[in-house]
Amino acid sequence: MAERYLAELTKIRDAVRQDLLGGRINLLLGWEKGHYWWQSRPLFAEDEKDLERLTWDSFCAVNLSRYLLDELKDYQKIGVLVKGCDSRAFNRLLQDNMIARERVVLYGLPCPGMLDYSLLTAVAGVAPEGIDEENGRVVLKTVAGEKTVERDQLLLYKCRDCLYPDPVVYDQLLLIPRGAKEAPERYKSVTALEELPADERYAYWDKELSRCLRCYACRQACPYCSCRECFVEQDKPRWQGRAYQASENFLFHLVRAYHGAGRCIDCGECQRACPVVIPLQELNRKLIKDLNELYGQFEAGLNAELEPPLLTYKPNDPAAFSEK
Amino acid sequence: MPAALNEKIAGWEPLVVAFCCNWCSYAGGDLAGTSRLSYPANVKVIRVPCSGRLNPMFVLRAFQRGADGVLVAGCHPGDCHYSTGNYHSRRRLSSFKRLVEFAGFEPDRFEVRWISSSEGDKFADEMEAITGRIKALGPNRKMRDARWQSVT
Amino acid sequence: MKKIVTADKLPVLWSHLAGQGKLLLPVKEGPTVLFKEWTAGDEVALDAPTSAISPKDIFFPREETYMRYRCRGPVLELSAGEEFEPVTAFGVHPCDLKAFEMLDRVYLDQDPVDELYRDRRARTTVVALACFAPDPFCFCSVFGIDPVSAPGADVIAHLDRQSGNLMLEAQTVKGEALLKGDASLLTEANGQSYGPALVKTADFGLKLSGLSENLKGRFEDPAWDKLYKSCLGCGVCTYVCPTCYCFDVEDYGHEMAGERFRCWDSCMYGQFTLMAGGHNPRPSRKERIRQRFLHKLQYYPETYGEIACVGCGRCLRSCPVNLDIVQAIIALGGEQNVQR
Ligand code: SF4
Ligand code: SF4
Ligand code: SF4
Ligand code: SF4
Ligand code: SF4
- Predicted TM-score (pTM) of the model is 0.95
pLDDT digits (tens, 9 = 90+) for A221-269: 999 999 989 999 998 899 999 999 999 999 999 999 999 999 999 999 9
Q: Does C243 share its domain with C137? A: no
Count residue pairs from A and C with Cβ separation < 8 A: 100
State how many domains chain A has.
3
β-sheet bridge partners, residue A138: A133, A149
Evaluate whether residue A296 is within a structural domain.
Answer: yes
**CB-based contacts of A304: which residues, under 8 Å, 6+ apart?**
A91, A92, A94, A95, A169
What pLDDT score does A3 carry? 84
Residue A139 identity (one-letter amino acid): V
B44 contact A CB<8A: no
**How many CB atoms neighbour CB C7 within 10 A?**
13
Peptide bond before C112: cis, by omega within 30 degrees of 0? yes
C289 CA to centre of ligand 5 in angstroms: 14
Instruction: Give the Cα-Cα-Cα angle A174, A177, A178 (nearest 5 degrees).
Output: 140
Please name the residues in contact with C203: beta carbons below 8 A apart, sequence gap of 6 or more.
C139, C141, C142
How many CA atoms, within 13 angstroms, populate the side-chain half-sphere of residue A25? 28
Give A266 Cα–ligand 2 centroid separation in angstroms. 5
Mean pLDDT over the full length of chain A: 95
B13-137: in CATH 3.80.10.10: no
To test the pocket of ligand 4, the residue of C230, C232, C325 to mutate (highest count of ligand atoms within 8 Å of its CB) is: C232
CB C142 within 8 A of CB C157: no
B100 in Cβ contact with B59 (< 8 Å): yes
Count the residues in chain A.
324
Query: What is the pLDDT confidence band of residue B151, given thresholds at 50, 70 and 90?
Result: confident
The alpha carbon of A158 and the centre of ligand 2 are apart by a number of angstroms equal to: 10
- CA–CA distance, A30 with A56 (Å, rounded to integer): 9
C243: CB partners within 8 A, 6+ apart:
C56, C99, C102, C103, C296, C300, C308, C309, C310
Region for A97 from its dihedrals, namely left if φ exceeds 0, alpha if ψ lies in -120 to 50, beta otherwise: left
Count other C-beta atoms under 10 Å from residue C128's C-beta.
Answer: 29
**Residue C87: pLDDT over 60:** yes
DSSP string for residues in C8-46 = GGHHHHHHHHHTTSEEEEEEEETTEEEEEE--TT--B-T
Determine contact, residues A299/A281, Cβ cutoff 8 Å.
Answer: no
Tell whether C160 and C270 lie within a shared domain: no
- Establish if C241 belongs to a structural domain: yes
Residues C315 and C184 in one domain: no
Residue C200: band (very low, low, confident or very high) from pLDDT cuts 50, 70, 90? confident
Q: Is C255 contained in some domain? A: no
Nearest to B90 among A231, A239, A317 (CB): A317
Q: What's the structural domain count of chain C?
A: 2
Residue A213 alpha carbon, nearest atom of ligand 1: 3
Contacts of C239 in chain A (CB under 8 A): 213, 215, 275
pLDDT at A116 over 80: yes
> Do B147 and C254 lie within an 8 Å CB cutoff?
no
Does a structural domain hold residue A125?
A: yes
Domain membership of residue C134 as a residue range: 2-61+82-188
C76 assigned to some structural domain: no
Flag whether residue B88 sits within 8 Å of chain A, measured between CB atoms.
Answer: yes
Residue A324 lies in a domain: no
How far apart, in whole angstroms, are the C-alpha atoms of residue A49 and residue A181?
37
* Per-residue pLDDT band at C81 (split at 50, 70, 90): confident
Interface contacts (B, C; CB < 8 Å): 15
Q: How confident is the model at residue C184 (pLDDT cuts 50, 70, 90)?
A: confident
Q: How far apart are CA B74 and CA B115, in angstroms?
A: 6
Domain assignment of residue C99, yes or no: yes
CA–centroid distance for C323 within its chain: 20
Query: Is the peptide bond preceding residue B139 cis, with omega within 30 degrees of 0?
Result: no
Predicted local distance difference test score (pLDDT) of residue B152:
78
Among C82, C101, C84, C80, CA closest to C92: C101
- The reply to whether A239 touches chain B by the CB within 8 Å rule is yes
Query: In this predicted structure, which of A194-203, A314-323, C299-308 has the lowest mean pLDDT?
Result: A314-323
Indicate if ligand 1 lies below 6 Å from the C-beta of A21.
Answer: no
* Ligand 3 site, CB within 6 A: A 219, 225, 227, 230-231, 256, 259
Q: Check whether residue C137 and residue C273 sit in a common domain.
A: no
Residue C338 lies in a domain: no
Residue B1 pLDDT grade (very low, low, confident, very high; cuts 50, 70, 90): very low
Whether residue A164 is contained in a domain is answered as yes
Q: Which of C252, C254, C260, C261 has the highest number of chain B CBs within 10 A, making it the mutation to test binding with B?
A: C252
Please tell me whether residues C183 and C226 are part of one structural domain.
no
The chain B residue lying nearest A283, using CA atoms, is: B99
Residues A21 and A164 occupy one common structural domain: yes
Q: Which of A126, A127, A16 is nearest to A82 (CA)?
A: A16
* A303 and A213 within one domain: yes
Cα(A282) to ligand 4 centroid in Å equals 24
Mark whether C40 and C98 lie in a shared domain: yes
Q: Is residue A320 part of a domain?
A: no
Domain boundaries, position A126: 117-152
Question: Does residue A132 share a domain with residue A64?
Answer: no
Query: In angstroms, rounded to a whole number, what is the distance separating the alpha carbons of residues C229 and B91?
Result: 39
User: Hey, are the CB atoms on C62 and A244 less than 8 Å from each other?
Assistant: yes
Q: Is A200 helix (H, G, I), strand (E, B) or coil?
A: helix
Cα(B76)–Cα(B94) distance, integer angstroms? 15
Residue C305 lies in a domain: yes
Tell me which chains share at least 3 CB pairs under 8 Å with chain B: A, C
Mean pLDDT of C158-162: 87
Residue C82, amino acid: E
Tens digits of residue pLDDT in C310-337: 999 999 999 999 999 999 999 999 888 7
**Contact criterion met (CB < 8 Å) for C236 and A44:** no
Measured distance CA(B102)–CA(A285) in Å, rounded: 11
Residue A323 in any domain: the answer is: no
